[in-house]
Amino acid sequence: MTRRSLPARLPLLTLLAALACTALPPAAVHAADDAKPAPRDLRALYTKYEYRIPMRDGTKLFTVVYVPKDASKPYPFLINRTPYGAGVQADGELHYGEDWYPKQIGPSKEFEDAGYIFVKQDVRGRYMSEGKWQEMTPHVNPRRAAGEGQESQDMYDTMEWLLKHVPNNNGKAGIWGISYPGFYTSASIIDSHPAIKAASPQAPVTDLYMGDDSYHGGAFMLAANFGFYASFTEQKNPTTLPRTWDDFDYGAADAYDFFLAHRTLASILGTLTDRQRALLAPTIDHDTYDAFWQTRAIAPHLKNIKAAVLTVGGWFDAEDPQGPFSTYHAIKKYNPGIFDGLVIGPWVHGGWARYDGKQLGRVSFDSKTGEYFREHIQFPFFEQQLKGVKPAQPIAPVTAFETGSNVWRRYTTWPPAQAQARTLYFGPHGTLTWQQPPAGSGYDEYVSDPSKPVPYIGYPATSVPQEYMVSDQRFAATRPDVLVYQSGVLQEDVTVAGPVTPRLFVSTTGTDADWVVKLIDVYPAEYPSTGQPAHGNDVAPPRGTMAGYQQLVRGNPLRGKFRNGFDKPEPFVPGKVEAISYQLGDVNHTFRRGHRIMVQVQSSWFPLVDLNPQTFVTIPKAKPEDFKAATQRVYRAAQTPSGLQLLVLPAH
């Protein structure tokens, strides 16, 4: 397998290492941009030290510290805690030792120029740190085993040591990280050390089951998790190994064919080694929101935070789309009085960190949004909190990029207080209107066959292309097992800001069913070319006009057995009409005048989501004979008004 087919989350992993180490390998090139920063010789500016910092239980955590050579003034600490290796990525391998210097050590070059004491730490049980690593370290664990820790305590002990042993510090510290390091950022500021004055959890993994990497709507995110855990494995420690990530050979050009050939989760797991299965198997086995997941959710514990917080996320983050919102809302709820900021831009997972953020696939955002964030929001935030430098423009409580119109908006809270709930109703003949259906009866139906699932992209790929979050949905609209509802041509802009909530009335001839709802922006039949080449991390959709393009704005599944709670699966009664409602996720998008709004409804999204057998079974234990075709109905009448609830902003 080539690096082009590394798992969807691996670009993040390599990115995280690269942010403090070196340029990205080919697989990690951001799907939207080509620009790379000029090489810098940080050896001339910083002195590197490596320490083993003792925790309160005696466990030693390997920590790399880069200190400015200019000792004419004190500097704040800027800390990154990671499970992906505090060493230096070079030539596809991870290197430790004081002679190895990265090409970038901070969130962006502005920090390196301004001067900070940069700290990067291997968390417990990873690479050169001692102890036992835990998936999403539980904050409360009465049965904590020897070597297991608590992230807030480890951060507190690390901070105490750094203040005493690293000279020329100003007594203040910031902490930041993307994805898993975003989780460690959040977990590290609970009951936070008073020296920590600023924190930026970015794309933070917050609850793996509730909308982040592992499950969406109770449905397992198959393709991304399979690829990630095939490479991200446990290890004996302290060790610098593995120096490279494991490869997995799909034996096919398209993951759709690979996963469909195996079909059951048991068969899919059987293609991996014991080492690769060790972390993936529990993720699959715990298919309800049980104690395994609940103890690992960090949001309920985000209390007694003393630092100013700037949470960052991307509208097109395929890995952790929900984490930033859950983190932002939890910090606001439990920590009144601190600055609790939120920034959401038109980015894929970690895409704001190194690239210009001007485009994703064939969708343009008209400006270098990544550069804007780094220069005008992220850097001023830390400068203000750690050095007292007043920003040219105050950091807004919420800064959200509005796609479609392609402008930045500043709000006092999220969702915006002025947004009003409105419902788009499904109508006869595939219509979509703001008017509730009249009296009478009506429904639309389709046959969902697990042997012919609806793909999530219209081209072959092994890993999950980052572009899929805005990909053209015309390939799905023509399938007989996809319902399509479309508005008339919009006479004025419609701006949606906040969570999108399907409210459906459905029935099935089976005893379980997935319901996948997609909100889509349909471009006019005549539309100019973007004039830009398209990008994807597996394939590049062809250059061309956007005429008739059906851009995915947001989509997500609900595994029907969880319609009344993710901890208590319930079968459907065949033919019985039931109401279901769930969250697609948040958006900030303007459907422009001349465009149309479309909603697609289907019962598979493969292999992004694992197959539902459509019989009420424990899916991780399902057998091939459990997978059966079923007829699904969506009702659209006065008593059963299916539709999509949106939060709509008044016209700007």
pLDDT digits (tens, 9 = 90+) for 478-509: 999 999 999 999 999 999 999 999 999 999 99
Contact 610, 224 (CB under 8 A): no
The band of 242, judged by pLDDT with boundaries at 50, 70 and 90, is low
Can you tell me the distance from the alpha carbon of 145 to that of 241, in angstroms, rounded to the nearest whole number? 24
- The pLDDT of residue 15 is 39
Tokens 């030539």 -> residue: 91
Using one digit for the tens of pLDDT, what is the confidence trace for 54-73? 999 999 999 999 999 999 99
CATH class of 3-217+231-248+287-343: alpha beta
Name the pLDDT band for 6 (thresholds 50, 70, 90).
very low
What is the pLDDT, as a whole number, of residue 544? 61
Residue type, 51: Y
Query: What's the mean pLDDT in 236-259?
Result: 85
pLDDT at 599: 98
Q: In terms of pLDDT, which residue wins out, 112 or 529?
A: 112
* Mean pLDDT of the 322-348 span: 98
How far is it, in rounded angstroms, from Cα 193 to Cα 196?
A: 6
* pLDDT tens column, 162-181: 999 999 999 999 999 999 99
Tens digit of each residue's pLDDT (9 = 90 or more) over 118-144: 999 999 999 999 999 999 999 999 999
Q: Please provide the distance, in angstroms rounded to a whole number, between the alpha carbons at the two ends of the chain.
A: 50
For residue 563, which phi and psi values (nearest 5 degrees)?
-60, -25
Nearest C-alpha neighbor of 264 from the set 449, 451, 448, 446: 451
Angle formed by the axes of helices 222-231 and 10-19, nearest 10°: 50
Q: What is the pLDDT of residue 504?
A: 98
Question: For residue range 600-646, what is the model confidence (pLDDT) as tens digits?
Answer: 999 999 999 999 999 999 999 999 999 999 999 999 999 999 999 99
Instruction: Report how far apart, in Å, the C-alpha atoms of 37 and of each of 288, 346, 373, 529 are.
Output: 44, 20, 16, 28
One-letter amino acid at 250 equals Y
Model confidence pLDDT, tens digit, residues 447-474: 999 999 999 999 999 999 999 999 999 9
pLDDT tens, position by position, 350-367: 999 988 999 999 999 999
pLDDT band for position 90 (cuts 50, 70, 90): confident
b (16+ CB within 10 A) / e for 534-562 = bbbbbebbeeeebeebbbbbbbbbbbbbb
Q: To the nearest whole number, what is the mean pLDDT of the chain?
A: 91
Structure-token match 């855990």, residue found: 229
Contact call for residues 396 and 411 (beta carbons, < 8 A): yes
Q: If you average pLDDT over residues 82-93, what whole number do you get?
A: 91
Q: Report the pLDDT averaged over residues 194-198.
A: 98
Residue 476's pLDDT is 98
If you write DSSP's letter for every residue of 25-71 in order, what string do you get? Answer: PGGGS-TT----PPP--GGGTEEEEEEEEEPTTS-EEEEEEEEES--
Instruction: Give the per-residue pLDDT at 40.
Output: 74
**What is d(CA 353, CA 350) in angstroms, rounded to the nearest whole number?**
6
Residue of 15 and 640 predicted with greater confidence:
640
pLDDT digits (tens, 9 = 90+) for 553-572: 999 999 999 999 999 999 99
**Predicted pLDDT at 173:** 98
Predicted pLDDT of residue 36: 52
pLDDT at residue number 585: 97
The residue type at 574: P
Q: What percentage of residues in the chain have a pLDDT greater than 70?
A: 91
CATH architecture, domain defined by 420-649: Sandwich (2.60)
Cis peptide preceding 238, ω within 30 of 0: yes
Q: How far is CA 367 from each of CA 33, 349, 394, 399, 523, rounded to the nearest angstrom?
A: 12, 18, 21, 16, 20
pLDDT at 235: 83
What is residue 545's predicted lDDT score, i.e. its pLDDT?
79
Evaluate if residue 434 carries a pLDDT over 70. Answer: yes
pLDDT for position 38: 58
Token pair of 426, please? 């499904």
In this prediction, residue 651 carries a pLDDT of 85
Q: What is the pLDDT, as a whole number, of residue 14? A: 38
How far, in Å, CA of 42 to CA of 284, rounded?
Answer: 43
* 503 beta partners: 581, 643
* Each residue's pLDDT tens digit, 21-47: 322 222 333 333 444 545 678 999 999
pTM reported for the whole predicted model = 0.92
Q: What is the pLDDT, as a whole number, of residue 69? A: 97
Give the start-to-end residue ranges of the domains of the chain: 3-217+231-248+287-343, 420-649
User: What per-residue confidence (pLDDT) applies to 288?
Assistant: 98
Which residues contact residue 167 at a Cβ distance below 8 angstroms, ignoring those fewer than 6 apart? none
